[in-house]
């Protein structure tokens, strides 16, 4: 089983969004050295908690600072963009960093309705739900498979990063996304951190999968929340920050990631309630056992670990402990960066 990282660039209270972006670069360099397989950056808009509004920019900054880890989007919210623009952007990234760029695609807005409207070029009416048509067009551009009579067919031959291409993935947390991924022969990444009841959806994807030139057999990754520390007590303390943030989010209140002491005081005044999100929190062997159980539940080939803490050093430490628990192969530090072939 492979391990990857899903990074939402959390903004700590008392810090700045710019610092959150620099923290993402730092974490990418660390996890590349630790032996993680993949580093994906998310797309969220207009929230004080997360600085990941432009994944393509972060990918462009992370890839030259890393050596062996794959870098990509988790994901690009395709309804906001034209397929050609996404194809040109990720073709460029692939040309600069051959064999290392992933294009994870989703259809969720990644924001509230008003911000979604602000992201649209044409605001005269709400955009239609044409995600599958957009997706097929984008794949046709990247793979030069548009029919000759298609009005955009010639654009496939003008992508700036040719002959390199990104590896496309479909992201989702619902049965519909799994169906599309299976029909198109795409690898599928399921967001367990949104819907922890996805094992049957992943199984349906595998059962319906159609062999394609893109992929010969089904490939599943799962995004999971995890916070690892040296002791169970410390891990629970660190988790209080994201618990407070999510508690207020459910009330429609958006905040930065609060410090532990503030979060603990807040949580003391609230009943535990029933969280609808799975989170693996504890010392290394406990988190490893939890991650292995999730992988077995989904039949996953890879897990993408999502960790949000107020303190960046604690987030770094969590990924270090997980890497050590799984025996990932750490690379020797180097002052140089990978260069294109």
DSSP 281-307: EESHHHHHHHHHHHHHHHT-SEEEEE-
With respect to residue 195, please indicate whether it lies within any of the assigned structural domains: yes
d(CA 68, CA 334) in angstroms, rounded, equals: 12
With respect to residue 341, please indicate whether it lies within any of the assigned structural domains: no
With respect to residue 340, please indicate whether it lies within any of the assigned structural domains: no
d(CA 87, CA 33) in angstroms, rounded, equals: 29
**335 — pLDDT class (breaks 50, 70, 90):** very low
Domain count, the chain: 1
**Block residue for tokens 């969220």:** 44
**337 — pLDDT class (breaks 50, 70, 90):** very low
Closest alpha carbon to 227 in 262, 278, 276: 278
Please give the average per-residue pLDDT across 157-167, as a whole number.
Answer: 98
**Block residue for tokens 């509230």:** 112
Q: Is the pLDDT of residue 324 over 70?
A: yes
Please give the average per-residue pLDDT across 117-139, as a whole number.
Answer: 84
d(CA 322, CA 283) in angstroms, rounded, equals: 9
In sequence order, what DSSP letters do the residues of 214-238 get, joined into one string? Answer: S-SS--EEEEEEEEE-SSHHHHHHH
What's the burial of 35, exposed, middle or buried (CB within 10 Å: 0-12/13-18/19+)? Answer: middle
With respect to residue 332, please indicate whether it lies within any of the assigned structural domains: no
With respect to residue 338, please indicate whether it lies within any of the assigned structural domains: no
pLDDT tens by residue, 268-302: 988 765 567 899 999 999 999 999 999 999 999 99
Neighbour tally for 273: CB within 10 Å: 8
**338 — pLDDT class (breaks 50, 70, 90):** very low
With respect to residue 48, please indicate whether it lies within any of the assigned structural domains: yes
Q: What is the pLDDT of residue 295?
A: 98
Please give the average per-residue pLDDT across 324-332, as a whole number.
Answer: 88
This prediction's pTM: 0.92
Q: What is the pLDDT of residue 121?
A: 76
Q: Which domain CATH number covers 76?
A: 3.20.20.30
The token pair that represents 119 in the structure block = 């992201």
Q: In what helix (H) or strand (E) does residue 6 lie, and over which residues does it extend?
A: strand 2-7
The token pair that represents 194 in the structure block = 């949104």
With respect to residue 137, please indicate whether it lies within any of the assigned structural domains: yes
With respect to residue 202, please indicate whether it lies within any of the assigned structural domains: yes
Range of the domain at 88: 2-326
pLDDT tens by residue, 223-257: 999 999 999 999 999 999 999 999 999 888 999 99
Bigger pLDDT: 329 vs 89: 89
Peptide bond into 85 cis (omega under 30): no
The token pair that represents 243 in the structure block = 């618990």
Q: What is the pLDDT of residue 272?
A: 62
């Amino acid at each position: 089983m492979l391990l990857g990282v899903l990074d939402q660039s959390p903004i700590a209270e008392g810090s700045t969004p710019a610092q959150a972006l620099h923290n993402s670069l730092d974490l990418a360099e660390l996890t590349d050295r630790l032996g993680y397989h993949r580093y994906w950056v998310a797309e969220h808009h207009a929230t004080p908690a997360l600085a990941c509004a432009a994944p393509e920019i972060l990918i462009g900054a992370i890839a030259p600072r890393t050596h062996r880890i794959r870098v990509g989007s988790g994901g690009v919210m395709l309804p906001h963009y034209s397929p050609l623009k996404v194809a040109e952007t990720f073709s460029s990234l692939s040309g600069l960093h051959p064999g290392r760029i992933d294009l994870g695609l989703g259809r969720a807005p990644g924001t509230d309705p008003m911000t979604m409207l602000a992201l649209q070029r044409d605001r005269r009416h709400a955009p239609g739900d044409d995600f599958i048509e957009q997706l097929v067009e984008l794949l046709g551009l990247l793979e030069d498979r548009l029919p000759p009579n298609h009005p955009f067919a010639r654009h496939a031959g003008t992508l700036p990063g040719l002959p390199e291409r990104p590896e496309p993935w479909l992201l989702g947390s619902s049965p519909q996304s799994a169906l599309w991924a299976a029909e198109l022969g795409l690898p599928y990444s399921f967001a367990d951190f949104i819907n922890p009841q996805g094992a049957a959806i992943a199984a349906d994807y595998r059962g319906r999968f159609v062999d394609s030139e893109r992929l010969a057999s089904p490939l599943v990754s799962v995004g999971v929340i995890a916070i690892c520390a040296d002791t169970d007590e410390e891990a629970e303390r660190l988790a209080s920050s994201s618990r407070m943030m999510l508690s207020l989010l459910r009330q429609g209140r958006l905040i930065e990631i609060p410090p532990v002491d503030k979060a603990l005081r807040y949580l003391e005044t609230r009943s535990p309630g029933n969280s609808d999100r799975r989170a693996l929190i504890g010392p290394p062997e406990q988190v490893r056992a939890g991650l292995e159980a999730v992988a077995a539940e989904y039949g996953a080939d890879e897990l993408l670990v999502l960790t949000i803490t107020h303190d960046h050093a604690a987030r770094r430490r969590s990924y270090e402990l997980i890497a050590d628990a799984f025996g990932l192969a750490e690379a020797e530090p180097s002052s140089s960066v990978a260069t294109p072939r």
